[in-house]
Amino acid sequence: MKKNSQMLKGLLEGCILKIIKDNETYGYELVESLKKGGFKDVTEGSVYPIVLRLEKKGMIDSVKKPSPLGPKRKYYYLTQLGHEELENFLLGWEELKVNVDYFINKEVTYEK
């Protein structure tokens, strides 16, 4: 994650919101989902601060549930504000993706 850390910071927040929207989940599962999705260098140390920030902003909330392997786990779910933020992220991502793809996939000439 070091190489592209500035670019990834905002993207991880949106991806975490999407993961939680799709399935109420706990911290370790978030990390594993991100790794499965291609963010191989993401660690718990980089995910938990984002989760705490989302919780403080009121975008996610949590509930403790029993775990089959030990103490209760803190499962996260989206609040109404989280759903709205995710929708804004997805719209912004699509626009940004189209704009970047334009420059990457086409020969661009610049006016002088």
**Which residue segment(s) compose the domain that 34 sits in?**
5-105
Quote the tokens at residue 110: 């610049």
Q: For residue range 62-101, what is the model confidence (pLDDT) as tens digits?
A: 999 998 888 999 999 999 999 999 999 999 999 999 888 8
Domain count, the chain: 1
CA-to-CA distance for 27 and 5, rounded, in angstroms? 20
Q: Which of 94, 101, 89, 95 is nearest to 19 (CA)?
A: 89
Q: Which of 62, 66, 76 is nearest to 20 (CA)?
A: 76
pLDDT of residue 3: 56
Q: How confident is the model at residue 56 (pLDDT cuts 50, 70, 90)?
A: very high
Assess if residue 26 is contained within a domain. Answer: yes
> Residue 12 has what DSSP assignment?
H
Average per-residue pLDDT for the chain: 89
Assess if residue 92 is contained within a domain. Answer: yes
Assess if residue 111 is contained within a domain. Answer: no
Beta bridge partners of 61: 77
Assess if residue 66 is contained within a domain. Answer: yes
pLDDT of residue 4: 64
In percent, the amount of the chain with pLDDT more than 90 equals 68
Assess if residue 33 is contained within a domain. Answer: yes
Assess if residue 12 is contained within a domain. Answer: yes
What pTM was computed for the model? 0.85
Which of residues 52 and 102 earns the better pLDDT score?
Answer: 52
CATH of the domain at 34: 1.10.10.10
pLDDT of residue 102: 87
